[in-house]
Amino acid sequence: MSPETRSGDGSAGHAALRVAVMWLGRISSDTAGRTYMHEALKALGQRPDLDLDVHISDEHFEVPPSCTRVLHRVPRRLGSPGRVLLEPMITAKLRKTPYDVMLAPFGFLPLTWRGPSVVVLHNILAFGDLARRELSPLRGLYRERAISSSLRRATIVLTVSDYLRKLVLDHFTFIDPSRVGVAHYGLSTELLSSAPEAQTSARRKNVLVVSALWPYKRVDQAIEAFALATAEEPDAVLRIAGPGTPTQLAASMNIARRWHILDRVLFLGNVPHSRLGQLYAESDAVLHLSEIESFGLPVLEAMGTGIPVLAKRIGGIPEVAGEAAIWIPPNAEAGHIAGLLRRVLSDDTFRVQHIRAGRREAAQFSWARNAELTARALRRAVTASKQPPGT
């Protein structure tokens, strides 16, 4: 294990908590996972009441300079089983450092950790019927059991939405509700600063989807709705920003080909967060048609950059968008979605109304607030661990 960057102001004040942040898997290349890790650590590391050591194995992830990066070499050829096998040895090394508390940022608490802890849950695909439906049988079974074990041992649990909190409590009935809190994602100031003021002009229309190509994200429906909505606008372009397997990409391209719009659909792959602001600002509308969503970060980002959003009223998205989104019924057909998209692209009054409402909603979410709630949970975990059982 090799420390690489020392904390800047983490030691300010004798009461600063020593926090071990630990995640030995790859840090997801999709927008929400990597954005959360970067933004949450940056905001937490800037707090003088915390001193963070970030234990990771992904050498490609840049830890914010306000934290200490501790890199662990986990052979990738061993895959997830290798991470699970090496975790106890690394956890044993952590005990030699007087950490006050551990933060498990992606739901999995090391099996041998017995000290105070805060576990963060992001995704309803981590457990229950959806996990078994959307993941392979082996992966679904492992995640269910690993999450259950982590939640039993965690001192405090944080979820990214009230919606996810309710699902967790309904599914894991052994959890005391008082141990489960909510810390919403925030709106990245870096993203906002990289986004020029959105402009409307006689240029061609740009519609944006920020999503991985997983089936439940319904990128297929976005392509169909776009084709119908822009049948009379042959210059309009649909841009899709998000990772996908070669099979998923080929399937999406085939849908565009069937609708004769392959030349108007741009598959951008995973777009770095530093470029997303520009991408949003260049767009006239964002389509977010996912059928499974714990929070809906692209909805928040689009609203914050002043772009109207069409989204299905499902999961945690209503907590984020309020009445600012142009809501789509969960079972809507492509034709219905196309009608709403056509109105957004052609009705300036309608657009401005939703842009203003979106900015108001987005202003309520910040990573500083996320850090405040997370820090509060970390301190509560330390306090709870010192109390005798039953108090």
What's the pLDDT at 135? Answer: 59
Q: What tens digit of pLDDT does each residue of 255-271 get?
A: 999 999 999 999 999 88
- Contact between 48 and 13 under an 8 Å Cβ cutoff? The reply is yes
What's the pLDDT at 13? Answer: 44
What's the pLDDT at 76? Answer: 67
What's the pLDDT at 229? Answer: 97
Whose tokens are 């894991």? That residue is 172
All residue ranges of the chain with pLDDT < 50 are: 1-13, 200-202, 391
Of 46, 93, 49, nearest to 70 by C-alpha is 93
Q: Which fold has domain 189-362?
A: Rossmann fold (3.40.50)
Whose tokens are 């928040």? That residue is 300
| Cα–Cα separations (whole angstroms), residue 77 to 74, 80, 82, 86, 96 | 9, 9, 8, 13, 28
Average pLDDT over all residues of the chain: 88
Domain ranges of the chain: 2-186+367-386, 189-362
CA angle at residue 248 from 247 to 251, to 5 degrees? 85
What's the pLDDT at 195? Answer: 78
What's the pLDDT at 125? Answer: 74
What's the pLDDT at 230? Answer: 97
Residue 210 contacts by C-beta under 8 Å, 6 or more apart in sequence? 31, 241, 242, 271, 276, 279, 286, 288, 298, 301, 302
The CATH number of 2-186+367-386, from 3.40.1010.10, 3.50.50.60, 1.10.1040.10, 3.40.50.2000, is: 3.40.50.2000
- For residues 202 and 96, give the distance between their C-alpha atoms in angstroms, rounded to a whole number: 64
- Contact between 237 and 206 under an 8 Å Cβ cutoff? The reply is yes
